[in-house]
């Protein structure tokens, strides 16, 4: 059988794996963006103790490889603490927390890129720090964080293949299984790669459209 037709035959299985990948990505991205935004806001709150603590959090999360973190949490912790937990949930939580560190840096950079006069104008009208953030700073920062945020989402879609290595049969793991069953790794992995590529392309198109819409006031 030719490589192409074998790849074609693998697609139904690969798409099943892809749905798991998508599920992981949506959960991790949601968690990463939510938690990351909170951390980013905390780091720009002007409260020394808070931004200091959160800085340590970011440094630790960023300073160790995701794969090591996953192994540590999914296999190290249960032994050390002598408890059982669902490996998949643990893996998704770990990835979400990891992603939040990167997202928080994106949010922080976005907030700090807004001219300081904007905050001053808002505060001089009697708005609180939170009101100024909500009505003045964040709506402007959002436009600037969309491209780097997309980068982060793309990265985590691809990194979700790490979860396949230890907990769950997602897209890459599915391809691996097909490859070992058919002894034909090329079509299986090529099929998986194509699915990743199409997903990322669709995402960038969506982001480009979103950026155009938000540019109305420029």
List CB contacts of 66: < 8 A, sequence separation 6 or more: 94, 95, 98, 159, 162
List CB contacts of 191: < 8 A, sequence separation 6 or more: 7, 10, 11, 14, 175
Ramachandran sector of residue 111 (left: φ over 0; alpha: ψ -120 to 50; beta: rest): alpha
Q: Does 47 help bind another protein (rule: CB under 8 A)?
A: no
Question: Which of 139/185 has CB closer to another protein?
Answer: 139
Could you identify the residue written with the tokens 């200091």?
Answer: 52
Least Å distance, CB 48 to another protein, is 14
Q: Does 64 help bind another protein (rule: CB under 8 A)?
A: no
Q: Does 49 help bind another protein (rule: CB under 8 A)?
A: no
Q: Does 113 help bind another protein (rule: CB under 8 A)?
A: no
- Cα of 95 vs its chain's centroid, Å: 8
Q: Does 197 help bind another protein (rule: CB under 8 A)?
A: no
Q: Does 68 help bind another protein (rule: CB under 8 A)?
A: no
Least Å distance, CB 210 to another protein, is 15
Count of residues in the chain: 218
Site for another protein in 138-167 (CB under 8 A): 139-140
Q: Does 48 help bind another protein (rule: CB under 8 A)?
A: no
From 95, 77, 96, 99, select the one nearest 163 (Cα to Cα): 95
The binding site for another protein (CB under 8 A) comprises 115, 117-118, 120-128, 131, 135-136, 139-140, 217-218
């Amino acid at each position: 059988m030719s490589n192409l037709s074998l790849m074609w035959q693998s697609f139904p299985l690969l798409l099943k794996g892809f749905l798991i990948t998508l599920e992981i990505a949506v959960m991790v991205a949601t968690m990463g963006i939510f938690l990351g935004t909170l951390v980013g806001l905390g780091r720009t709150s002007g409260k020394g103790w808070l931004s200091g603590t959160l800085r340590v959090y970011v440094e630790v999360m960023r300073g160790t490889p995701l794969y090591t973190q996953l192994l540590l949490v999914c296999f190290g912790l249960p032994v050390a603490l002598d408890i059982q937990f669902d490996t998949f949930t643990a893996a998704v939580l770990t990835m979400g927390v990891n992603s939040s560190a990167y997202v928080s840096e994106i949010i922080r950079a976005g907030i700090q890129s807004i001219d300081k006069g904007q905050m001053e104008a808002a505060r001089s009208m009697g708005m609180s720090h939170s009101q100024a953030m909500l009505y003045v700073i964040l709506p402007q920062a959002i436009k600037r964080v969309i491209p780097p945020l997309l980068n982060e989402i793309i990265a985590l879609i691809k990194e979700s293949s790490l979860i396949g290595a230890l907990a769950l049969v997602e897209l890459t793991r599915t391809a691996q299984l097909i490859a070992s069953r058919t002894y034909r790794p090329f079509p299986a992995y090529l099929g998986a790669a194509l699915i990743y590529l199409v997903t990322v392309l669709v995402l960038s198109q969506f982001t480009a459209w979103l950026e155009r819409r938000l540019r109305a006031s420029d």
